Structures are given as C-alpha cells and as structure tokens.
Amino acid sequence: MKTWYPEADLVIQHPKIYTVAITCDEVKEGKTDFPIIEDGGVAAKDGKVIAVGTAADVQRFIGEHTQVIDASGKILTPGFVECHMHCKWTGEQMLNLDFNGVTSRQAILDAVAEKAANTPDGVWIEGDGWNELIWEDSQEVITRRELDEVAPNNPVFLLHMSVHTIAANSLALEACGYTKDTPQPEGAEIGHYDDGELDGLLYENGALQPMLKTKPALTDDEHLESLVLIGQRLNSFGITSAIDANLNYKQMHIYNEARKQGKLSYRANLMFYLDPQFGSFEDNLRRLEEMDCVTGFGDEMLKLNGCKVTLDGITAAFTAAMNRREYRQRPGYYGDTIYTQEEIDALVCKATELGWQFGIHTIGDMSEDRALHAFQEANKIRPVKELRHYLIHYQLPYEDQWPIMKELGVGVCLQPTLVSQMGEEPLFWPEQVERFQSPGLMFKNGILAGGSSDSPVVSPSPMLGMYYAVTRLDETTGKTLSKGDESKVTPIQALIMWTKNSAFFSHDDDKMGSVEVGNFADFAILDRDCFASDDPTDIRDAQVTTTVLGGKVVYEA
C-alpha cells in the first residue's frame, strides 16, 4: 500500500540545520550538543513542523500548493527568541530621532537643530539612545542651555540609552512644571547647574515620569504603527518571539488590538509592570489582585507572561544597589533598592500566590540578594520552579548566590551587547569587571542564561549579542572584559541562549526554540555558517536572509 504524506504549506530545502533539539534541563547539566543536519530539509503545515531531516526526506511533502525555499549554502536555526526587551517602547522610539550608536556629541546637537528648523513652533521634539561614554569629541553631557540654543521654540527631551536619564530644554521643563525650587523626588534627581538653575538633566523614574506624562500622547494609529515597526525590525533580525517588559494596562490593550487586526509579526509575551510610578507599594499590591488573569493567559501569538519589578537603578547614575563592595567612584556609598526587603517579599509572595511568574531587574548585588530572598519566601507558598521566577540583568554574579538559584530553578536574562557597549568598566572594581553579566559562568554552574538586548537601550540584533557573548569585547576600550575564557561562551552556547534557553522564560521551551516535529514552524535562515567558524566576526556579520513565523515568511532580505 502506498504511504500517504500530507501536503506541506512550506518546505525549506538544502540548508545546514542547527536543530537545537535539546532540553533546558540538559543545558543546566552541561550538555550543549544536538543534531546538526547537513543538506537538511524541514516541512511545515498549519504553523507547525511536520518533518525534519535531509532534503530528500522532506521532498515527499511537496505538493501543488507548497511554497518551496531553496536555502543551499545557508544555515537554518530556530527563530530567535528575545527574553527581555521593550518592544512597544522600541517601536515608539522608531518614530523619534535615533541616537543609538552616535559617537559625536555635536552630531546630536546638529540633528536636534535640523529637526527644529523643520518643525512648527511648539511641537515636541523627541530623541532616544544617546550615550556620552561613546562620544569621541567630548563626553560632557548635553544640558538645557545647549538644547535651548539649537531648539529655542520647541520643547525637547532626549532619552539616554539606559532609559534612566533625560536631557531636556527649558520649554520641556516648563511644560511639566519643573522649576529650580521643585523638591527632589524620592529615589530620583532633578539636576542643577552650580548656580542653582535647572540643567535639564533628570535621573530615574521619579523625575522622568512628569516629563513622559506631559509630552503629547501617541494617537491610536501611532500606537499600532509602533508595533508594526518593531515587528518588522525584529523579523529582520530573525526574531520570532519576544518578552516585552514594563507594560501597563493601556499598552496591553494596544497589543490586543494589534492582535485582532493581524498586525503582530512576532509572538508577544507581556510583562505587567509593578513600579512606584503607578502608585505606592500598597497600590501595586492592589493592582496585582485586581488582574483577572495570570501567567499563561492568551494564545500562541499574544499572552501574559508575568510581572516585572525594577528593584534598583543603574550603575552609571549610582542608583544600582551594592552590597559586597562600595561604589568604586563614590567611596562609602552603596546605594539602595527601590523597594525594601519586606516590600519586595510581599510583592513576590502575592504574585506567587496568584500564579504569576516574576522577573526582577537587578544590577547591583544588594538587589540580587534581596530578589533571591523574596524568591525563597515565595517558594514556601508555591514551588518557584513551576512559575519560573528569574533575574533580569544579574550584573554582579557571586558564588554564594548560585546554590539558591539552582535550588529554586532561577534563571537569568542577560544582555551581552549592553555590557559591551555601555562603557561602564571604569565604574566597577577589577574583579567585578571580570565576571559581570557573565554567560560563561552561568553555563559552567548550571544556571539557565537567556539571551536578550534590553532594546531600545541597544540593538535587538541576536547576532550582535551572540558575538559579544563569545568575545566579551568592550567596544568603548577595545579590550576584553575577561582575562580568560571562563566568562565567555562558545558559538553553540550563544545560539542556545537565543533559542531554547530564552524560550524557557516564556514557558515555551516545549514548543519553540528548537527545530523539531510538533514545534512552531519558526525559523531564521542565515547567509553563512557562522557557528562553525573560528572567527567570531562571522557571527557579528552574519545576515538573516529569511524569517519564518508559523510556517509563513515574514521577512526576506
């Protein structure tokens, strides 16, 4: 009897396939090998993989209506998964002036001047992504008086790449009610010149929020356009799934509208944000209890992922919370967390009781310790391993934390590009630089490390992130951040970070992050075999030629 084979919607022939067919438990046990298929083939139907093997193996699934892609000379990987970024925010910034990677202070002022010359008086001018640490002409931060000179008739605010600092001109400051006598917000700072006048610099959420709430709100069409724009950008990098952090009710409703209109081109996993900007600690506890749904609610394109808290700030603004060592540049100063130990314990325990996954932004080791303590308390209510609580950034890893993390199954979302491009080495003690945000140490010690970017802080390109994870290169100094190989990962481990490992944090590692029968038909096709190369620049320079989401091509170069 002749065997019947279903007609595939899509067949991709002749790539070298990196299946990443491995479990997260195996990764934690130290395994990193998985099947790699030369002259491979994959077939998809109804959004799922129905066959993986050689090109000859999948030939039988080609029918009259099958789309066939010849990927000879290329490689195919699972669609890349981003476990921590700000998709909606990045899309909004794509509507503004983009200063990411700009290495000239004067170039930024010139761009604002040009924009002002072509913008009606009174219309706000927004820019994003500036980083004084990479400016080659001067590393003196741009302040109010300079912005007043280049844009005297338009409110201007420029958001730092860290998204923890704003530089604004006089009209923008006046619009949100700031004067030289405005009291300092708790846990934040309004900057002043030596003469006491406002310098236009705002640090941390308490100072940023009045500005962000004063600027004109996006229209409904602009909100939807921002999700379309970021989707196109993510797809161009081979990304098919992302966790979007720091979302409020309105932003989640916008996502739902985009889903209904068919405008999502990546699997969006939403993190509900609990932050002082939304009220007191008690207010955020109430917001948790008022949510009608929890982690996992949604479908394969849009679902609730969990709750996110920012427990401390950033090192550059001296708002990260240190514990074991004081700030290198501020003797005797350690900083503090945004929530007390008792408050973060209560938030995490309540979320755990209700069934929420919890991700915590931790830069300094004090915030890491307090987050882990909260996870231990929550584990008394319900096994944390089930909900997959995790740390975001985990900038300063210490050995005494790892037994707790392994016991509770706590993973980390790392951002190698952020570490390599921020230029923060002078802010840390030498022994801290050797290990901060170290993917290699995580692999070696059985802690699951996912790959991410924290975009819009840096580019969401997975290939760039993998390159920095492999090299540990500090772009601002040209030196490596690690003396040896302990903190680095292999190219294959880097690939695992942006596929199987990252899928863990959205509870999707059983259905994506690997090319296996039954999984989502999400793929990235690259122009070269960068994972077998001895030259890590091949990873950096590799280009995505095709991205497939649910068996449908969403990007072609």
Q: Which of 263, 355, 252 is nearest to 298 (CA)?
A: 252
Residue 480 domain-assigned (yes or no): yes
186 CB-contact burial (10 Å; exposed 0-12 / middle 13-18 / buried 19+): exposed
Of 214, 241, 262, the domain-final residue: 214
Q: Which of 242, 230, 160 is nearest to 202 (CA)?
A: 160
Strands, sheet with 156-160, edge to edge from the N-terminal-most edge strand? 97-98, 125-130, 156-160, 165-168, 198-203, 189-192
Report how far residue 156's alpha carbon sits from residue 90's, in angstroms, rounded to the nearest whole number.
Answer: 19
Amino acid at position 362, single letter: T
Residue 495 domain-assigned (yes or no): yes
Cross-strand bridge partners of residue 157: 126, 168
Is the bond preceding residue 276 a cis peptide, omega within 30 degrees? no
Q: What is the DSSP letter of 326?
A: -
Please provide the DSSP assignment of 108-170 as one string.
Answer: HHHHHHHHHHTS-TT--EEEEEE-GGG-SS--PPP-HHHHHHH-TTS-EEEEETTSSEEEE-H
Of 189, 214, 239, the domain-final residue: 214
Residue 25 domain-assigned (yes or no): no
Q: In terms of domains, do 422 and 507 share one?
A: yes
CATH number, domain containing residue 111: 3.10.310.70
Domain range holding 140? 96-214
Report how far residue 392's alpha carbon sits from residue 207's, in angstroms, rounded to the nearest whole number.
Answer: 23
Residue 169 domain-assigned (yes or no): yes
Report how far residue 531's alpha carbon sits from residue 490's, in angstroms, rounded to the nearest whole number.
Answer: 9
Of 214, 232, 258, the domain-final residue: 214
Residue 58 domain-assigned (yes or no): no
Q: In terms of domains, do 291 and 154 share one?
A: no
32 CB-contact burial (10 Å; exposed 0-12 / middle 13-18 / buried 19+): middle
Quote the number of domains for the chain.
2
Residue 296 domain-assigned (yes or no): yes
Q: In terms of domains, do 461 and 318 share one?
A: yes
Q: In terms of domains, do 356 and 483 share one?
A: yes
CATH number, domain containing residue 433: 3.20.20.140
Q: What are the pLDDT tens digits along the chain (557 aa)?
A: 467 789 999 999 999 999 999 999 999 999 999 999 999 999 999 999 999 999 999 999 999 999 999 999 999 999 999 999 999 999 998 989 999 889 999 999 999 999 999 999 999 999 998 999 889 999 999 999 999 999 999 999 999 988 889 999 999 999 999 999 999 998 889 999 999 999 999 998 889 999 999 999 899 999 999 999 999 999 999 999 999 999 999 999 999 999 999 999 999 999 999 988 888 889 999 998 888 888 999 999 999 999 999 999 988 888 899 999 999 989 999 999 999 999 999 999 999 999 999 999 999 999 999 999 999 999 999 999 999 999 999 999 999 999 999 999 999 999 999 999 887 778 888 888 877 899 999 999 999 999 999 998 899 999 999 999 999 999 888 888 876 788 999 999 999 999 999 999 999 999 999 999 999 999 999 999 999 999 999 999 999 999 999 999 999 99
Torsion of CA 454, 456, 462, 467, to 10 degrees: -80
Residue 377 domain-assigned (yes or no): yes
Tokens of 487: 């903190």
Q: In terms of domains, do 287 and 417 share one?
A: yes
Q: In terms of domains, do 383 and 480 share one?
A: yes
